[in-house]
Amino acid sequence: MAEVWAHPQLQARNRWTAVDTPQGRVPALLPPGSWHTAAPRMDAVPALGQHTAAILAGQGYSAEQVAALRSVGTV
């Protein structure tokens, strides 16, 4: 990976950025494309389970059902 991070073309084209993770900032390669109008969206990496309740709610689970799943360690 060190060779990828140090690749001269990626450095010359400013293809690297950094993103936040629960363990700190890490280097991230920007997605391909032309960014004349706006920079690409590079949000933080979510923590494990960070969006579980929202995803389950989107699937029709009630807050009580999600709480019950959490209480038995399913999620």
Tell me the per-residue pLDDT of 16-28, one tens digit each, with 9 for 90 and over. 899 999 999 998 9
Report whether 10 contacts 29 (CB < 8 A): yes
Residue 38 domain-assigned (yes or no): no
R_g of the chain computed on alpha carbons: 19
29-72 pLDDT, tens per residue?
988 876 677 888 899 999 999 999 999 999 999 999 999 999 99
Tell me, yes or no, whether 26 and 1 share the same domain. Answer: yes
Distance, in Å, from the CA atom of 57 to the CA atom of 13, rounded to the nearest integer, reads 42
State residue 25's pLDDT score: 96
Residue 55 domain-assigned (yes or no): yes
The DSSP symbol for 63 reads: H
Residue 40 domain-assigned (yes or no): no
| Residue range(s) defining the domain that contains residue 75 | 45-75
Report whether 16 contacts 10 (CB < 8 A): yes
Report the domain count for the chain.
2
> What ranges make up the beta strands (E) of 1-75?
16-21, 24-29
Residue 24 domain-assigned (yes or no): yes
